Amino acid sequence: NLTGKTAVVTGSTSGIGLAYARAFASAGANVVINGMGAPADIEKERAAIESDYKVEAIHSPADMTKPAEIAEMIALGENTFGSVDILVNNAGIQFVSPIEEFPIEKWDAIIAINLSSAFHGIRAVVPGMKKRGWGRIINTASAHSLVASPFKSAYVSAKHGIAGLTKTVALEVATHKITCNCISPGYVWTPLVEKQIPDTMKARNLTKEQVINDVLLQAQPTKEFVTSEQVAALALFLCGDEAAQITGTNLSIDGGWTAA
Ligand code: NAD
For residue 197, what pLDDT is reported? 92
For residue 157, what pLDDT is reported? 99
Helix, strand, coil percentages in the chain from 3-state DSSP, rounded to 5: 55, 15, 30
Tell whether pTM > 0.90: yes
In a domain, 246, yes or no: yes
Atom of ligand 1 nearest to the CA of 13: 9
For residue 89, what pLDDT is reported? 99
Residue 38 scores a pLDDT above 90: yes
Atom of ligand 1 nearest to the CA of 225: 40
Identify the CATH number of the domain in which residue 101 sits: 3.40.50.720
For residue 207, what pLDDT is reported? 96
List, for residues 117-170, the tens digit of each pLDDT value. Answer: 999 999 999 999 999 999 999 999 999 999 999 999 999 999 999 999 999 999
**Do 144 and 155 meet the contact criterion of CB atoms below 8 Å apart?**
yes
Residue 252 scores a pLDDT above 90: yes
If one residue of 20, 34, 60, 93 were mutated to test the ligand 1 pocket, choosing by the most ligand atoms within 8 A of its CB, it would be 93
Alpha-carbon gap, residue 221 to 223, rounded angstroms: 5
In a domain, 204, yes or no: no
Scanning 93-216, the segments in alpha helix (DSSP H) are: 104-111, 117-132, 153-173, 191-204, 208-210
In a domain, 193, yes or no: no
Residue 192 scores a pLDDT above 90: no
List, for residues 15-26, the tens digit of each pLDDT value. Answer: 999 999 999 999
If one residue of 89, 190, 220 were mutated to test the ligand 1 pocket, choosing by the most ligand atoms within 8 A of its CB, it would be 190
Residue 34 scores a pLDDT above 90: yes
In a domain, 201, yes or no: no
The C-alpha torsion from 17 through 18 and 23 to 28, rounded to 10°, is 110
In a domain, 28, yes or no: yes
pLDDT band for 205, please (50, 70, 90 cuts). very high
What average pLDDT does the segment 213-235 reach? Answer: 95
How many helices (H) does the chain have, and how many strands (E)? 9, 7
Ligand 1 pocket, residues with Cβ under 6 angstroms: 11-17, 34-37, 63-65, 90-93, 113-114, 140, 142, 185, 187-188, 190-193
Looking at the 3D structure of the chain, how many domains does it have?
1
For residue 240, what pLDDT is reported? 98
In a domain, 250, yes or no: yes
Q: Angle 143-145-151 (CA atoms, 0-180°, nearest 5)?
A: 80
For the chain, the average pLDDT equals 97
Percent of the chain past pLDDT 70, that is, above it, reads 100
* Dihedral sign, Cα of residue 17, residue 25, residue 180, residue 89: positive
For residue 257, what pLDDT is reported? 97
In a domain, 92, yes or no: yes
Residue 239 scores a pLDDT above 90: yes
- Active-site residue, 155 included: yes
Kindly report which listed range (158-167, 190-199, 238-247) carries the lowest average pLDDT score: 190-199
In a domain, 216, yes or no: no
Alpha-carbon gap, residue 87 to 129, rounded angstroms: 10
State the residue range of the domain holding 111.
Answer: 6-187+226-259
What average pLDDT does the segment 47-66 reach? Answer: 98
What average pLDDT does the segment 3-12 reach? Answer: 98
- Residues 113-150 as b or e (16 or more Cβ within 10 Å = b): bbbbbbbbbbebbbebbbeeebbbbbbbbbbbbbbeee
Q: Is 189 helix (H, G, I), strand (E, B) or coil?
A: coil
